[in-house]
Amino acid sequence: MKGNVLVGQSGGPTAAINSSLAGVYCTAKELGADKVYGMRYGIEGLIEGKYIDLSEHLENELDVETLKRTPSAYLGSCRYKLPKVEDNKEVYDKIFEIIDKLNIEVFIYIGGNDSMDTISKLSAYAAEIGHAARFIGCPKTIDNDLALTDHTPGFGSAAKYIATSVKEVICDNNCLQYGKGLVTIIEVMGRNAGWLTGSAALCQGEDCEGPDMIYLPEITFDMEKFLAKVKGLLAEKSSVVVVVSEGIKLADGRYVCELGSNTDFVDAFGHKQLSGTASYLAGFIGGSLGCKTRAIEFSTLQRAGSHMSSKADIEEAFQAGSAAVSAGVQGESAKMVVFERISETPYLCGTGLRDVHKIANDEKVVPREWVNEEGTYVTEEFAAYARPLIQGEVIPVMVNGVPRHLNKAR
């Protein structure tokens, strides 16, 4: 390639987004890029002129390996919605000024739905003004809700962390006997898509019965049916474990978490901030049945749990970054790298490219047929789909008893 590469990370971080950054860097260097620049804090930082030369950060192979084991977004991230050109052309002028100044041939943005909107807008604008730079999206989200791709880097590692942690909680609960029973409600991220919540089922095996119920945001939640189900289970066993999505809603459209609090925080994209679902349901069950309850929220641990990341995921994230650079160098633009599953057994997956305009702002949810009729558990089809994505481990580099992260950018 003749020009340079500019890469940014956007949206909520994952355990795999830095592996995609490593993939971008290594492949760009291999393909002859003189410089690989990284936006600080995504497009928002770039507009303020903040970027770094990645060569100064990834000085050797060990740096690259450590980066792949580092959670969060190494470059910094943002939640910034690019305005439409007609509303604010100056922002576009600023971005393209930096692109020209840095001699950028390929612009890569690693992110989810909202980030693909950025690639969509920038590539459309470049086409409009006849600019030669190419704009490629690299998928990332623990939510696995991007359209047109089999799955999304970041999901597998979060799913592995969740399946492992749910398994440990179930095991822990089983050792004590509780007079009126113990009901544990575990809350998992995923506003509208239940991929992560469903992954809790992956802890099921010869040594673990799995959670008793799994409630996805795709299925309307019924408080009375839930209560009856818990009551029935408590008649049979001492510990009941329920996994719920933060985004479960009642028939009237209200989020369950809204029943418990008055907070109404909305982020830059107009999304409501959800939290407190488990805590509300634990209170509801305890109050109704008089049993002991426990609410567990995995919070940001589920997206930052690099110490339990999936090898399949970390390698595919690297591959996605690599494919994004290659696509751009080959002249592609306005595309997002996608994963295409070639075979289920053995699991084989390759990358492809899809029109980013068709992906942006769209959400892929769990198909109804992958949830049981009652809406209280995922099916074996769901597990067969998700299981390959949590296979293998990337052993952390341990220093002084804790995992070492790459942290030169701060």
Binding interface with a copy of itself (CB under 8 A): 9, 13, 41, 44, 70-79, 160, 163-165, 167-169, 171-177, 202-203, 205-208, 265, 279, 292, 294, 296-297, 299-301, 303-308, 310, 387, 390-393, 395, 398-407, 410
Q: Which of 114, 143, 145, 313 is catalytic?
A: 143
Phi/psi of residue 190, nearest 5 degrees: 125, 95
| Residue 366: CB minimum distance to a copy of itself, A | 19
35 vs 294 by CB, closer to a copy of itself: 294
172 vs 374 by CB, closer to a copy of itself: 172
Asked if 159 contacts 389 with a C-beta cutoff of 8 angstroms, the reply is yes
Q: 167: Cβ–Cβ under 8 A, 6 or more apart, which residues?
A: 203, 208
- CA–CA dist 190, 193 (Å, integer): 5
| Residue 168: CB minimum distance to a copy of itself, A | 4
223 vs 301 by CB, closer to a copy of itself: 301
| Residue 279: CB minimum distance to a copy of itself, A | 8
296 vs 327 by CB, closer to a copy of itself: 296
| Residue 278: CB minimum distance to a copy of itself, A | 10
262 vs 343 by CB, closer to a copy of itself: 262
149 vs 302 by CB, closer to a copy of itself: 302
| Residue 222: CB minimum distance to a copy of itself, A | 26
- CA proximity to 12, closest of 154, 202, 192: 154
Q: Is 100 a catalytic residue?
A: no
| Residue 251: CB minimum distance to a copy of itself, A | 28
| Residue 190: CB minimum distance to a copy of itself, A | 17
- CA–CA dist 13, 300 (Å, integer): 9
85 vs 208 by CB, closer to a copy of itself: 208
Catalytic residues: 143
